[in-house]
Structure 1
Amino acid sequence: MIKFFRHIRQTLIEQGKMGKPAGRTGRYFKYAIGEIVLVVIGILIALQINNWNERQNDLKVERIHMKNLVEDLKEDIKLYHEYRHRNGKIYGLIDSIVPNIKSEHRKEHVAKLAYWTRLVTLEWMVLEPVNRTYEEMKSSGQLRLIHDTDISKQLSKYYNSFSKFEILNNAGLSWAEQYVESLGKIFDAEVLMKVMLKQQIVIAQPNQMLTEDPVTINQLLNALNFFQGAIIRGDKQSLENEQNALKIIDQIETTYRLSRD
Protein backbone atom coordinates (compact mmCIF):
# COMPACT_ATOMS: atom_id res chain seq x y z
CA MET A 1 0.00 0.00 0.00
CA ILE A 2 2.84 2.43 0.85
CA LYS A 3 4.54 1.62 -2.43
CA PHE A 4 1.27 2.33 -4.21
CA PHE A 5 1.00 5.87 -2.74
CA ARG A 6 4.66 6.51 -3.49
CA HIS A 7 3.95 5.54 -7.06
CA ILE A 8 1.05 8.04 -7.19
CA ARG A 9 3.22 10.81 -5.74
CA GLN A 10 6.02 10.14 -8.19
CA THR A 11 3.61 10.08 -11.12
CA LEU A 12 2.10 13.43 -10.06
CA ILE A 13 5.57 14.96 -9.80
CA GLU A 14 6.48 13.71 -13.24
CA GLN A 15 3.21 15.00 -14.68
CA GLY A 16 3.86 18.42 -13.12
CA LYS A 17 7.30 18.56 -14.71
CA MET A 18 5.93 17.58 -18.09
CA GLY A 19 3.09 20.08 -17.80
CA LYS A 20 0.27 17.56 -18.38
CA PRO A 21 -3.29 18.87 -18.21
CA ALA A 22 -5.00 19.04 -14.75
CA GLY A 23 -7.92 16.97 -16.01
CA ARG A 24 -5.80 13.89 -16.43
CA THR A 25 -4.45 14.32 -12.90
CA GLY A 26 -8.01 14.35 -11.49
CA ARG A 27 -8.87 11.20 -13.37
CA TYR A 28 -5.78 9.53 -11.98
CA PHE A 29 -6.83 10.44 -8.43
CA LYS A 30 -10.26 8.92 -9.01
CA TYR A 31 -8.64 5.78 -10.33
CA ALA A 32 -6.35 5.57 -7.29
CA ILE A 33 -9.24 6.05 -4.85
CA GLY A 34 -11.20 3.36 -6.68
CA GLU A 35 -8.29 0.98 -6.33
CA ILE A 36 -8.06 1.70 -2.59
CA VAL A 37 -11.80 1.08 -2.13
CA LEU A 38 -11.52 -2.24 -3.95
CA VAL A 39 -8.58 -3.30 -1.76
CA VAL A 40 -10.51 -2.38 1.43
CA ILE A 41 -13.61 -4.24 0.23
CA GLY A 42 -11.46 -7.27 -0.56
CA ILE A 43 -9.96 -7.23 2.93
CA LEU A 44 -13.40 -6.93 4.55
CA ILE A 45 -14.75 -9.81 2.48
CA ALA A 46 -11.74 -11.94 3.40
CA LEU A 47 -12.29 -11.18 7.09
CA GLN A 48 -15.98 -12.07 6.79
CA ILE A 49 -15.14 -15.38 5.12
CA ASN A 50 -12.54 -16.13 7.78
CA ASN A 51 -15.03 -15.31 10.57
CA TRP A 52 -17.67 -17.47 8.92
CA ASN A 53 -15.24 -20.39 8.64
CA GLU A 54 -14.28 -20.03 12.30
CA ARG A 55 -17.93 -19.91 13.33
CA GLN A 56 -18.71 -23.04 11.31
CA ASN A 57 -15.79 -24.82 12.95
CA ASP A 58 -16.99 -23.68 16.40
CA LEU A 59 -20.47 -25.01 15.64
CA LYS A 60 -19.02 -28.40 14.69
CA VAL A 61 -16.95 -28.56 17.89
CA GLU A 62 -19.96 -27.41 19.93
CA ARG A 63 -22.12 -30.15 18.44
CA ILE A 64 -19.51 -32.81 19.25
CA HIS A 65 -19.36 -31.58 22.84
CA MET A 66 -23.16 -31.66 23.09
CA LYS A 67 -23.22 -35.29 21.92
CA ASN A 68 -20.57 -36.20 24.48
CA LEU A 69 -22.44 -34.35 27.23
CA VAL A 70 -25.60 -36.30 26.44
CA GLU A 71 -23.63 -39.56 26.68
CA ASP A 72 -22.19 -38.48 30.04
CA LEU A 73 -25.65 -37.57 31.34
CA LYS A 74 -27.07 -40.93 30.23
CA GLU A 75 -24.20 -42.66 32.03
CA ASP A 76 -25.02 -40.62 35.14
CA ILE A 77 -28.64 -41.77 35.01
CA LYS A 78 -27.49 -45.40 35.00
CA LEU A 79 -25.31 -44.66 38.04
CA TYR A 80 -28.23 -43.05 39.88
CA HIS A 81 -30.38 -46.11 39.19
CA GLU A 82 -27.69 -48.50 40.43
CA TYR A 83 -27.04 -46.34 43.51
CA ARG A 84 -30.69 -46.32 44.58
CA HIS A 85 -31.09 -50.03 43.75
CA ARG A 86 -28.17 -50.96 45.99
CA ASN A 87 -29.39 -48.62 48.72
CA GLY A 88 -32.76 -50.37 48.52
CA LYS A 89 -30.99 -53.63 49.39
CA ILE A 90 -29.31 -51.92 52.33
CA TYR A 91 -32.66 -50.72 53.70
CA GLY A 92 -33.89 -54.32 53.54
CA LEU A 93 -30.79 -55.54 55.36
CA ILE A 94 -31.25 -52.93 58.09
CA ASP A 95 -34.87 -54.00 58.53
CA SER A 96 -33.58 -57.53 59.19
CA ILE A 97 -30.63 -56.54 61.37
CA VAL A 98 -32.33 -54.26 63.91
CA PRO A 99 -35.02 -56.59 65.34
CA ASN A 100 -32.78 -59.65 65.28
CA ILE A 101 -29.73 -58.11 66.93
CA LYS A 102 -31.95 -56.56 69.62
CA SER A 103 -33.61 -59.90 70.25
CA GLU A 104 -32.75 -61.97 73.34
CA HIS A 105 -32.29 -64.93 71.00
CA ARG A 106 -29.74 -63.15 68.78
CA LYS A 107 -27.13 -65.90 69.18
CA GLU A 108 -29.46 -68.32 67.46
CA HIS A 109 -29.16 -66.18 64.34
CA VAL A 110 -25.41 -65.52 64.34
CA ALA A 111 -24.93 -66.77 60.77
CA LYS A 112 -27.68 -64.56 59.38
CA LEU A 113 -26.71 -61.55 61.48
CA ALA A 114 -23.06 -61.82 60.43
CA TYR A 115 -24.16 -61.99 56.80
CA TRP A 116 -26.67 -59.13 56.99
CA THR A 117 -24.41 -56.80 58.96
CA ARG A 118 -21.35 -57.40 56.77
CA LEU A 119 -23.29 -57.10 53.52
CA VAL A 120 -24.39 -53.55 54.36
CA THR A 121 -21.05 -51.95 53.47
CA LEU A 122 -20.44 -54.40 50.63
CA GLU A 123 -23.62 -53.22 48.92
CA TRP A 124 -22.93 -49.51 49.43
CA MET A 125 -21.26 -47.58 46.63
CA VAL A 126 -19.64 -44.16 46.55
CA LEU A 127 -21.55 -42.10 44.00
CA GLU A 128 -19.31 -40.24 41.54
CA PRO A 129 -21.24 -38.93 38.50
CA VAL A 130 -19.38 -38.38 35.21
CA ASN A 131 -18.09 -34.90 34.42
CA ARG A 132 -15.28 -35.57 31.92
CA THR A 133 -16.74 -33.63 28.96
CA TYR A 134 -17.82 -30.64 31.04
CA GLU A 135 -14.44 -30.44 32.78
CA GLU A 136 -12.67 -30.76 29.43
CA MET A 137 -14.70 -27.86 28.03
CA LYS A 138 -14.14 -25.85 31.19
CA SER A 139 -10.35 -26.34 31.25
CA SER A 140 -10.00 -25.57 27.52
CA GLY A 141 -12.23 -22.47 27.67
CA GLN A 142 -14.74 -24.03 25.27
CA LEU A 143 -17.78 -23.54 27.50
CA ARG A 144 -18.10 -20.25 25.59
CA LEU A 145 -19.10 -22.31 22.53
CA ILE A 146 -22.48 -23.16 24.08
CA HIS A 147 -24.64 -20.59 22.30
CA ASP A 148 -27.86 -21.50 24.15
CA THR A 149 -27.65 -19.55 27.42
CA ASP A 150 -30.36 -21.61 29.15
CA ILE A 151 -28.58 -24.90 28.41
CA SER A 152 -25.33 -23.34 29.63
CA LYS A 153 -26.97 -22.31 32.93
CA GLN A 154 -28.63 -25.71 33.42
CA LEU A 155 -25.34 -27.53 32.82
CA SER A 156 -23.51 -25.26 35.26
CA LYS A 157 -26.16 -25.84 37.92
CA TYR A 158 -26.13 -29.61 37.33
CA TYR A 159 -22.36 -30.06 37.53
CA ASN A 160 -22.01 -27.73 40.52
CA SER A 161 -24.42 -30.01 42.40
CA PHE A 162 -21.76 -32.76 42.36
CA SER A 163 -20.19 -31.13 45.41
CA LYS A 164 -23.23 -32.34 47.39
CA PHE A 165 -22.39 -35.94 46.52
CA GLU A 166 -18.85 -35.40 47.77
CA ILE A 167 -20.24 -34.28 51.15
CA LEU A 168 -22.66 -37.24 51.31
CA ASN A 169 -19.94 -39.71 50.26
CA ASN A 170 -17.64 -38.44 53.00
CA ALA A 171 -20.44 -38.67 55.57
CA GLY A 172 -21.23 -42.21 54.45
CA LEU A 173 -17.57 -43.25 54.62
CA SER A 174 -17.23 -41.77 58.10
CA TRP A 175 -20.27 -43.58 59.52
CA ALA A 176 -19.40 -46.79 57.65
CA GLU A 177 -15.99 -46.73 59.31
CA GLN A 178 -17.54 -46.41 62.77
CA TYR A 179 -20.08 -49.11 61.90
CA VAL A 180 -17.39 -51.56 60.78
CA GLU A 181 -15.37 -50.83 63.91
CA SER A 182 -18.39 -51.73 66.08
CA LEU A 183 -19.04 -54.78 63.90
CA GLY A 184 -15.58 -56.11 64.68
CA LYS A 185 -16.32 -55.96 68.41
CA ILE A 186 -19.45 -58.09 68.06
CA PHE A 187 -18.61 -60.81 65.51
CA ASP A 188 -15.59 -63.04 65.06
CA ALA A 189 -13.35 -61.73 62.27
CA GLU A 190 -13.18 -65.17 60.63
CA VAL A 191 -16.91 -65.36 59.94
CA LEU A 192 -16.97 -61.78 58.68
CA MET A 193 -14.08 -62.56 56.31
CA LYS A 194 -15.91 -65.61 54.95
CA VAL A 195 -19.03 -63.50 54.32
CA MET A 196 -16.97 -60.89 52.48
CA LEU A 197 -15.32 -63.50 50.25
CA LYS A 198 -18.42 -65.59 49.49
CA GLN A 199 -21.07 -62.87 49.89
CA GLN A 200 -23.52 -65.42 51.19
CA ILE A 201 -24.61 -66.86 54.52
CA VAL A 202 -21.83 -69.03 55.97
CA ILE A 203 -21.79 -71.49 58.84
CA ALA A 204 -21.29 -69.68 62.16
CA GLN A 205 -21.37 -70.85 65.76
CA PRO A 206 -23.07 -68.99 68.65
CA ASN A 207 -19.70 -68.30 70.26
CA GLN A 208 -18.64 -66.39 67.14
CA MET A 209 -20.79 -63.61 68.47
CA LEU A 210 -18.14 -62.15 70.76
CA THR A 211 -20.33 -59.97 72.94
CA GLU A 212 -23.92 -59.16 73.76
CA ASP A 213 -22.97 -56.00 75.60
CA PRO A 214 -25.90 -53.59 75.07
CA VAL A 215 -23.59 -50.55 74.83
CA THR A 216 -21.51 -52.14 72.05
CA ILE A 217 -24.64 -53.26 70.20
CA ASN A 218 -26.12 -49.78 70.60
CA GLN A 219 -22.94 -48.26 69.12
CA LEU A 220 -23.37 -50.50 66.10
CA LEU A 221 -27.03 -49.54 65.68
CA ASN A 222 -26.25 -45.86 66.19
CA ALA A 223 -23.58 -45.86 63.47
CA LEU A 224 -25.93 -47.85 61.24
CA ASN A 225 -28.68 -45.28 61.82
CA PHE A 226 -26.49 -42.34 60.79
CA PHE A 227 -25.11 -44.30 57.85
CA GLN A 228 -28.66 -44.96 56.70
CA GLY A 229 -29.39 -41.23 57.04
CA ALA A 230 -26.51 -40.40 54.72
CA ILE A 231 -27.67 -42.80 52.01
CA ILE A 232 -31.28 -41.63 52.30
CA ARG A 233 -30.08 -38.10 51.56
CA GLY A 234 -27.99 -39.53 48.73
CA ASP A 235 -31.09 -41.19 47.27
CA LYS A 236 -32.95 -37.91 47.36
CA GLN A 237 -30.11 -36.00 45.70
CA SER A 238 -29.59 -38.69 43.05
CA LEU A 239 -33.29 -38.60 42.15
CA GLU A 240 -33.19 -34.81 41.82
CA ASN A 241 -30.06 -35.01 39.66
CA GLU A 242 -31.59 -37.72 37.50
CA GLN A 243 -34.64 -35.56 36.80
CA ASN A 244 -32.41 -32.60 35.94
CA ALA A 245 -30.24 -34.79 33.70
CA LEU A 246 -33.30 -36.02 31.78
CA LYS A 247 -34.48 -32.43 31.24
CA ILE A 248 -31.06 -31.32 29.99
CA ILE A 249 -30.80 -34.31 27.64
CA ASP A 250 -34.20 -33.48 26.15
CA GLN A 251 -33.26 -29.79 25.85
CA ILE A 252 -29.93 -30.54 24.14
CA GLU A 253 -31.37 -33.12 21.74
CA THR A 254 -34.19 -30.74 20.77
CA THR A 255 -32.02 -27.63 20.38
CA TYR A 256 -29.22 -29.38 18.46
CA ARG A 257 -31.52 -31.85 16.69
CA LEU A 258 -29.31 -34.74 17.79
CA SER A 259 -32.10 -37.28 17.33
CA ARG A 260 -31.63 -36.88 13.56
CA ASP A 261 -28.05 -38.15 13.71
Structure 2
Amino acid sequence: MMKFFRKIRQKFFSENKFSKYLLYALGEILLVVIGILIAIQVSNSNQVRIEQNTMNSYYTELYTTLEADIKEQNESIDQLNALANDLMRCLEIINAKKEDHIDEFKAKIGSLNTAYANDYSMELFDEFMNKGYLSKIEDPQLKRHFESVKIGLIRGKNWDEVLDSDYVNNVSPFIQQNLNYGDFNLPSWLFNENDRPKGGPKVDYSKLFHNLKVWNAIYGRLIYLKSTIKMNNGMLKALVELRTALSEIS
Protein backbone atom coordinates (compact mmCIF):
# COMPACT_ATOMS: atom_id res chain seq x y z
CA MET A 1 0.00 0.00 0.00
CA MET A 2 2.79 2.43 0.93
CA LYS A 3 4.57 1.55 -2.35
CA PHE A 4 1.39 2.40 -4.27
CA PHE A 5 1.10 5.83 -2.65
CA ARG A 6 4.80 6.50 -3.24
CA LYS A 7 4.39 5.88 -6.98
CA ILE A 8 1.52 8.35 -7.14
CA ARG A 9 3.61 11.03 -5.40
CA GLN A 10 6.55 10.42 -7.74
CA LYS A 11 4.28 10.66 -10.80
CA PHE A 12 2.83 14.05 -9.75
CA PHE A 13 6.25 15.35 -8.88
CA SER A 14 7.91 14.20 -12.14
CA GLU A 15 5.10 15.73 -14.24
CA ASN A 16 5.48 19.07 -12.42
CA LYS A 17 1.88 18.88 -11.28
CA PHE A 18 2.73 20.60 -8.00
CA SER A 19 -0.84 21.63 -7.16
CA LYS A 20 -2.08 18.08 -7.55
CA TYR A 21 0.90 16.86 -5.57
CA LEU A 22 0.11 19.33 -2.78
CA LEU A 23 -3.54 18.27 -2.71
CA TYR A 24 -2.51 14.65 -2.65
CA ALA A 25 -0.05 15.28 0.23
CA LEU A 26 -2.73 17.06 2.20
CA GLY A 27 -5.11 14.20 1.57
CA GLU A 28 -2.53 11.72 2.72
CA ILE A 29 -1.95 13.73 5.91
CA LEU A 30 -5.70 13.85 6.45
CA LEU A 31 -5.92 10.07 6.11
CA VAL A 32 -3.15 9.66 8.68
CA VAL A 33 -4.91 12.03 11.10
CA ILE A 34 -8.21 10.21 10.63
CA GLY A 35 -6.47 6.92 11.23
CA ILE A 36 -4.93 8.22 14.44
CA LEU A 37 -8.30 9.59 15.61
CA ILE A 38 -9.97 6.27 14.91
CA ALA A 39 -7.25 4.43 16.82
CA ILE A 40 -7.65 6.81 19.77
CA GLN A 41 -11.42 6.36 19.69
CA VAL A 42 -11.09 2.59 19.66
CA SER A 43 -8.58 2.74 22.51
CA ASN A 44 -10.87 5.02 24.53
CA SER A 45 -13.84 2.79 23.87
CA ASN A 46 -11.88 -0.24 25.05
CA GLN A 47 -10.78 1.65 28.14
CA VAL A 48 -14.35 2.71 28.92
CA ARG A 49 -15.56 -0.85 28.42
CA ILE A 50 -12.86 -2.26 30.72
CA GLU A 51 -13.59 0.41 33.33
CA GLN A 52 -17.33 -0.24 33.19
CA ASN A 53 -16.77 -3.97 33.57
CA THR A 54 -14.63 -3.25 36.64
CA MET A 55 -17.33 -1.01 38.10
CA ASN A 56 -19.96 -3.68 37.46
CA SER A 57 -17.81 -6.16 39.37
CA TYR A 58 -17.67 -3.72 42.27
CA TYR A 59 -21.46 -3.32 42.13
CA THR A 60 -21.90 -7.07 42.43
CA GLU A 61 -19.47 -7.38 45.35
CA LEU A 62 -20.91 -4.34 47.10
CA TYR A 63 -24.42 -5.73 46.81
CA THR A 64 -23.23 -8.83 48.66
CA THR A 65 -21.16 -7.08 51.35
CA LEU A 66 -23.88 -4.51 52.05
CA GLU A 67 -26.08 -7.27 53.41
CA ALA A 68 -23.60 -7.81 56.25
CA ASP A 69 -23.21 -4.05 56.74
CA ILE A 70 -26.98 -3.62 57.06
CA LYS A 71 -27.22 -6.51 59.52
CA GLU A 72 -24.41 -5.05 61.62
CA GLN A 73 -26.06 -1.64 61.55
CA ASN A 74 -29.36 -3.09 62.75
CA GLU A 75 -27.62 -4.92 65.58
CA SER A 76 -25.79 -1.73 66.57
CA ILE A 77 -29.03 0.25 66.67
CA ASP A 78 -30.65 -2.46 68.82
CA GLN A 79 -27.74 -2.29 71.28
CA LEU A 80 -27.88 1.50 71.39
CA ASN A 81 -31.62 1.42 72.05
CA ALA A 82 -31.04 -1.02 74.92
CA LEU A 83 -28.46 1.35 76.43
CA ALA A 84 -30.84 4.29 75.99
CA ASN A 85 -33.58 2.35 77.79
CA ASP A 86 -31.21 1.64 80.69
CA LEU A 87 -30.27 5.30 81.06
CA MET A 88 -33.88 6.38 80.77
CA ARG A 89 -34.78 3.94 83.52
CA CYS A 90 -31.98 5.35 85.70
CA LEU A 91 -33.50 8.82 85.37
CA GLU A 92 -36.91 7.43 86.28
CA ILE A 93 -35.45 5.79 89.40
CA ILE A 94 -33.75 9.06 90.41
CA ASN A 95 -37.08 10.84 90.04
CA ALA A 96 -38.89 8.21 92.11
CA LYS A 97 -36.25 8.39 94.88
CA LYS A 98 -37.18 4.93 96.17
CA GLU A 99 -34.37 3.00 97.83
CA ASP A 100 -35.90 -0.35 96.90
CA HIS A 101 -34.93 0.46 93.29
CA ILE A 102 -31.24 0.91 94.10
CA ASP A 103 -30.27 -2.61 92.98
CA GLU A 104 -31.94 -2.00 89.62
CA PHE A 105 -30.18 1.37 89.38
CA LYS A 106 -26.80 -0.26 90.05
CA ALA A 107 -27.52 -2.88 87.36
CA LYS A 108 -28.36 -0.29 84.72
CA ILE A 109 -25.99 2.60 85.49
CA GLY A 110 -23.15 0.63 83.87
CA SER A 111 -24.62 1.63 80.50
CA LEU A 112 -23.23 5.08 81.24
CA ASN A 113 -19.75 3.61 80.87
CA THR A 114 -20.37 2.05 77.46
CA ALA A 115 -18.54 3.41 74.44
CA TYR A 116 -20.86 3.30 71.45
CA ALA A 117 -18.73 4.42 68.55
CA ASN A 118 -19.88 4.17 64.95
CA ASP A 119 -17.72 1.32 63.70
CA TYR A 120 -18.22 1.68 59.95
CA SER A 121 -15.65 -0.66 58.43
CA MET A 122 -16.67 -0.65 54.76
CA GLU A 123 -13.34 -1.40 53.07
CA LEU A 124 -14.81 -2.33 49.68
CA PHE A 125 -16.92 0.84 49.55
CA ASP A 126 -13.90 2.94 50.50
CA GLU A 127 -11.81 1.22 47.81
CA PHE A 128 -14.46 2.00 45.18
CA MET A 129 -14.57 5.65 46.21
CA ASN A 130 -10.79 6.06 46.50
CA LYS A 131 -10.34 4.87 42.91
CA GLY A 132 -12.50 7.76 41.72
CA TYR A 133 -15.37 5.66 40.36
CA LEU A 134 -18.01 7.91 41.93
CA SER A 135 -17.47 10.56 39.25
CA LYS A 136 -17.84 7.91 36.53
CA ILE A 137 -21.31 6.73 37.60
CA GLU A 138 -23.72 7.84 34.87
CA ASP A 139 -26.98 6.97 36.62
CA PRO A 140 -27.80 10.09 38.73
CA GLN A 141 -29.97 8.17 41.19
CA LEU A 142 -27.33 5.49 41.80
CA LYS A 143 -24.71 8.22 42.18
CA ARG A 144 -26.88 9.97 44.75
CA HIS A 145 -27.16 6.77 46.81
CA PHE A 146 -23.37 6.37 46.82
CA GLU A 147 -23.00 10.00 47.91
CA SER A 148 -25.49 9.48 50.76
CA VAL A 149 -23.45 6.57 52.15
CA LYS A 150 -20.26 8.58 51.74
CA ILE A 151 -21.76 11.49 53.70
CA GLY A 152 -22.95 9.05 56.38
CA LEU A 153 -19.43 7.66 56.79
CA ILE A 154 -17.95 11.15 57.12
CA ARG A 155 -20.58 12.22 59.66
CA GLY A 156 -20.10 9.01 61.63
CA LYS A 157 -16.35 9.55 61.86
CA ASN A 158 -16.75 13.17 62.95
CA TRP A 159 -19.40 12.23 65.50
CA ASP A 160 -17.12 9.57 66.95
CA GLU A 161 -14.64 12.30 67.83
CA VAL A 162 -17.40 14.17 69.67
CA LEU A 163 -18.41 11.01 71.56
CA ASP A 164 -14.82 10.22 72.51
CA SER A 165 -14.26 13.76 73.74
CA ASP A 166 -17.42 13.69 75.84
CA TYR A 167 -16.50 10.35 77.38
CA VAL A 168 -12.91 11.29 78.19
CA ASN A 169 -13.67 14.78 79.49
CA ASN A 170 -17.04 14.26 81.19
CA VAL A 171 -18.30 10.72 81.63
CA SER A 172 -15.16 8.92 82.78
CA PRO A 173 -14.19 11.59 85.37
CA PHE A 174 -17.75 11.59 86.71
CA ILE A 175 -17.80 7.81 87.15
CA GLN A 176 -14.41 7.77 88.85
CA GLN A 177 -15.46 10.45 91.32
CA ASN A 178 -19.00 9.32 92.10
CA LEU A 179 -19.48 5.63 91.35
CA ASN A 180 -17.83 2.27 91.94
CA TYR A 181 -16.97 0.22 88.86
CA GLY A 182 -17.38 -2.86 91.01
CA ASP A 183 -21.13 -2.20 91.19
CA PHE A 184 -21.53 -2.23 87.41
CA ASN A 185 -23.11 -5.14 85.60
CA LEU A 186 -20.00 -5.95 83.56
CA PRO A 187 -20.03 -8.37 80.59
CA SER A 188 -19.13 -11.98 81.32
CA TRP A 189 -16.24 -12.00 78.83
CA LEU A 190 -14.50 -9.28 80.84
CA PHE A 191 -14.61 -10.96 84.26
CA ASN A 192 -16.03 -14.19 85.58
CA GLU A 193 -17.31 -14.47 89.12
CA ASN A 194 -14.03 -15.92 90.42
CA ASP A 195 -11.54 -13.32 89.16
CA ARG A 196 -13.70 -10.19 89.36
CA PRO A 197 -12.32 -7.72 91.96
CA LYS A 198 -14.51 -7.41 95.03
CA GLY A 199 -15.11 -4.64 97.54
CA GLY A 200 -13.96 -1.06 97.30
CA PRO A 201 -15.49 2.06 98.85
CA LYS A 202 -19.24 1.92 99.27
CA VAL A 203 -21.45 4.33 97.38
CA ASP A 204 -24.50 5.77 99.13
CA TYR A 205 -26.85 5.54 96.18
CA SER A 206 -29.68 7.16 98.09
CA LYS A 207 -27.67 10.40 98.10
CA LEU A 208 -27.22 10.19 94.33
CA PHE A 209 -30.97 10.67 93.99
CA HIS A 210 -30.45 14.28 95.13
CA ASN A 211 -27.23 14.93 93.22
CA LEU A 212 -27.60 17.27 90.24
CA LYS A 213 -24.28 16.10 88.77
CA VAL A 214 -25.58 12.54 88.62
CA TRP A 215 -28.76 13.64 86.90
CA ASN A 216 -26.93 15.79 84.35
CA ALA A 217 -24.28 13.14 83.64
CA ILE A 218 -26.92 10.53 82.81
CA TYR A 219 -29.18 12.97 80.99
CA GLY A 220 -26.30 14.36 78.94
CA ARG A 221 -25.09 10.93 77.92
CA LEU A 222 -28.64 9.97 76.98
CA ILE A 223 -28.80 12.98 74.64
CA TYR A 224 -25.58 11.89 72.92
CA LEU A 225 -26.92 8.35 72.72
CA LYS A 226 -30.20 9.42 71.14
CA SER A 227 -28.29 11.54 68.61
CA THR A 228 -26.14 8.53 67.72
CA ILE A 229 -29.23 6.36 67.23
CA LYS A 230 -30.76 8.96 64.93
CA MET A 231 -27.54 9.20 62.92
CA ASN A 232 -27.26 5.42 62.65
CA ASN A 233 -30.85 5.14 61.47
CA GLY A 234 -30.04 7.61 58.72
CA MET A 235 -27.00 5.57 57.75
CA LEU A 236 -29.08 2.38 57.76
CA LYS A 237 -31.57 4.00 55.39
CA ALA A 238 -28.74 5.03 53.04
CA LEU A 239 -27.27 1.51 53.06
CA VAL A 240 -30.62 -0.12 52.32
CA GLU A 241 -31.34 2.29 49.46
CA LEU A 242 -27.91 1.74 47.92
CA ARG A 243 -28.27 -2.03 48.09
CA THR A 244 -31.75 -1.80 46.52
CA ALA A 245 -30.35 0.32 43.69
CA LEU A 246 -27.47 -2.12 43.14
CA SER A 247 -29.91 -5.04 43.01
CA GLU A 248 -31.35 -3.57 39.82
CA ILE A 249 -28.02 -3.60 37.98
CA SER A 250 -26.13 -6.53 39.58
CA distance in 2 between counterparts of 1:165 and 1:71 reads: 22
Does the CA contact (< 8 Å) of 1:80 and 1:242 recur in 2? yes
Does the CA contact (< 8 Å) of 2:66 and 2:243 recur in 1? yes
**Measured at CA, do residues 39 and 162 of structure 1 come closer, stay the same or move farther in structure 2, by a change above 3 Å?**
closer
Deviation track 1:145-198 (CA, whole Å, cap 9, x = no partner) reads: 312122113311331133332344334334434233222233335445x83633
Deviation track 1:97-124 (CA, whole Å, cap 9, x = no partner) reads: 3344566664x666654432224433x4
1:98 corresponding residue in structure 2: 91
Unaligned 5+ residue runs, structure 2?
none
User: Displacement, 1:60?
Assistant: 0.7
The answer on 1:184 being equivalent to 2:176 is yes
Does the CA contact (< 8 Å) of 1:168 and 1:231 recur in 2? no
The answer on 1:135 being equivalent to 2:129 is no
The residue type equivalent to 1:115 in the other structure is A
Does the CA contact (< 8 Å) of 2:93 and 2:105 recur in 1? yes
**Measured at CA, do residues 65 and 145 of structure 1 come closer, stay the same or move farther in structure 2, by a change above 3 Å?**
farther
Does the CA contact (< 8 Å) of 2:134 and 2:146 recur in 1? no
Does the CA contact (< 8 Å) of 2:149 and 2:239 recur in 1? yes
Does the CA contact (< 8 Å) of 2:148 and 2:238 recur in 1? no
Does the CA contact (< 8 Å) of 1:127 and 1:165 recur in 2? yes
CA distance in 1 between counterparts of 2:36 and 2:176 reads: 79
CA distance in 2 between counterparts of 1:95 and 1:140 reads: 45
- Identity across aligned pairs (percent)? 18
The answer on 1:60 being equivalent to 2:53 is yes
Aligned residue among 202, 209, 215 for 1:221: 215
**Measured at CA, do residues 171 and 224 of structure 1 come closer, stay the same or move farther in structure 2, by a change above 3 Å?**
farther
- TM-score, normalised on structure 1? 0.69
User: Displacement, 1:87?
Assistant: 1.4
CA distance in 2 between counterparts of 1:204 and 1:105 reads: 26
1:78-89 alignment runs, 5 A limit: 78-89=71-82
CA distance in 1 between counterparts of 2:40 and 2:222 reads: 62
> Does the residue aligned with 2:186 lie in a helix, a strand or coil?
helix
> Does the residue aligned with 1:198 lie in a helix, a strand or coil?
coil
CA RMSD, Structure 1 to Structure 2 (Å): 4.3
Count of equivalent residues: 243
The residue type equivalent to 1:132 in the other structure is E
The residue type equivalent to 2:113 in the other structure is T
The residue type equivalent to 1:67 in the other structure is T
CA distance in 2 between counterparts of 1:155 and 1:65 reads: 12
2:244 corresponding residue in structure 1: 250
**Measured at CA, do residues 234 and 38 of structure 1 come closer, stay the same or move farther in structure 2, by a change above 3 Å?**
same
Deviation track 1:8-44 (CA, whole Å, cap 9, x = no partner) reads: 554444456xxxxx9xxx8x99998997777666545
CA distance in 1 between counterparts of 2:30 and 2:217 reads: 82
1:94-173 alignment runs, 5 A limit: 94-100=87-93, 106=99, 112-122=104-114, 124-173=115-164
CA distance in 2 between counterparts of 1:198 and 1:179 reads: 22
CA distance in 1 between counterparts of 2:23 and 2:179 reads: 102
* Structure with greater helix share of residues: 1
Task: State which structure, 1 or 2, has the greater radius of gyration over its C-alpha atoms.
Answer: 1
1:19 corresponding residue in structure 2: none
